[in-house]
Amino acid sequence: MGRSLAEILPLALAATVSPSGLLFVMMILSGKGNARRNSLMFLLGGSFFLIVLGTVVTATYKPAVSSAGNPGRLAGGIDIVLALLIAVIIIRSMLAGKSPKQPQEENPGPRRQRPYPVLGFVFMLINISTLIPFIAAVKLLADDRLGVIENMPMFAILVAVTMFMIAFPVIISYLMPDRSQKVLGPVESFMSRHGQQIAHAYFLAIAAYLAVKGLITLSGA
């Protein structure tokens, strides 16, 4: 289990690096109404999507590997493809040359309750920079010889770490309701200025890790 955690943790940390998700949750927290509840519902929707995705990947990956003529080549090829996808994300983001900005609230109108769990689910669905490292980590779990039940604690850790950056403002808002802005204000300012650069550097390291891992797996297949 220690070896699996050591392998999965870097990918989980890559998945949690989501400056746009962090700023989106902080925008929800700064809104009117029951902001803390709304942000919590958003997190639950995102977490539910990750659970569904992880279940689908696990259910489809193992049969595919079992039926492959050379499982090692398939596993190594998937790692290389994931590394290339991360590299494409980095290149597109650098070419765009824009730092994540906090979404602006819409003009006030008739107040209506937004479906925040659905918003969280959809946000995670389109948050490709989180999904690719998450899928790579789930693949590592699926490669493990342990069964699904035995891997459930590791999968729970993976989901929790993946959601941590987005969940951080919500956790602070519940633990420090009167002083949360003193903590979150500097965090928001820092991530608005430097979040994209931090994400680029870490994603580049993860892409290199997956590429090397894939090549080693292919050479031994």
Kindly state whether residue 137 falls inside one of the protein's structural domains: yes
Burial 9-31 (b: 16+ CB within 10 A, else e): ebbbbbbbbbbbbbbbbbbbbee
Summarised one tens digit per residue, pLDDT across range 155-181 is: 999 999 999 999 999 999 898 888 888
Kindly state whether residue 105 falls inside one of the protein's structural domains: no
Coil, strand or helix: which one is 75?
helix
As a whole number, mean pLDDT of residues 147-152 equals 73
**What per-residue confidence (pLDDT) applies to 168?**
92
As a whole number, mean pLDDT of residues 10-36 equals 86
Kindly state whether residue 15 falls inside one of the protein's structural domains: yes
Kindly state whether residue 104 falls inside one of the protein's structural domains: no
Summarised one tens digit per residue, pLDDT across range 105-134 is: 444 444 556 789 999 999 999 988 889 999
Question: Domains in the chain: how many in total?
Answer: 1
DSSP, residue by residue, 141-176: HHHSSS-HHHHHHHHHHHHHHHHHHHHHHHHHHHH-
Kindly state whether residue 17 falls inside one of the protein's structural domains: yes
**What per-residue confidence (pLDDT) applies to 53?**
94
Reported as half-sphere exposure (CB side, CA atoms, 13 A), residue 212 has a value of 6
Kindly state whether residue 185 falls inside one of the protein's structural domains: yes
Kindly state whether residue 27 falls inside one of the protein's structural domains: yes
Domain span at 187: 2-99+112-220
Q: Give percent above pLDDT 70 in the chain.
A: 85
Is the pTM higher than 0.85? The answer reads: no
Measure the CA–CA gap between 131 and 53, rounded to whole angstroms: 9
**What per-residue confidence (pLDDT) applies to 158?**
93
Contact by Cβ (8 Å): 114, 24: no
- C-alpha 167, offset from chain centre: 11
Kindly state whether residue 107 falls inside one of the protein's structural domains: no
Burial 121-151 (b: 16+ CB within 10 A, else e): bebbeebebbbbbbbbbbbbbbbeeeeeeeb
Rounded to the nearest 5 degrees, what angle is found at the Cα of 113, between the Cα atoms of 110 and 117?
Answer: 150
**Between 68 and 18, the higher pLDDT residue:** 18
Measure the CA–CA gap between 105 and 30, rounded to whole angstroms: 10
Average pLDDT, the chain: 82
3-state secondary structure 122-147: HHHHHCHHHHHHHHHHHHHHHHCCCC
Which 8-state DSSP code applies to residue 16?
H
Residues in the chain: 221
Summarised one tens digit per residue, pLDDT across range 40-95 is: 999 999 999 999 999 998 888 877 766 766 667 777 888 899 889 888 888 887 77
Q: Is residue 101 over pLDDT 70?
A: no
Reported as half-sphere exposure (CB side, CA atoms, 13 A), residue 97 has a value of 1
Distance set, CA 117 to CA 34, 36, 40, 126 (Å): 14, 13, 8, 15
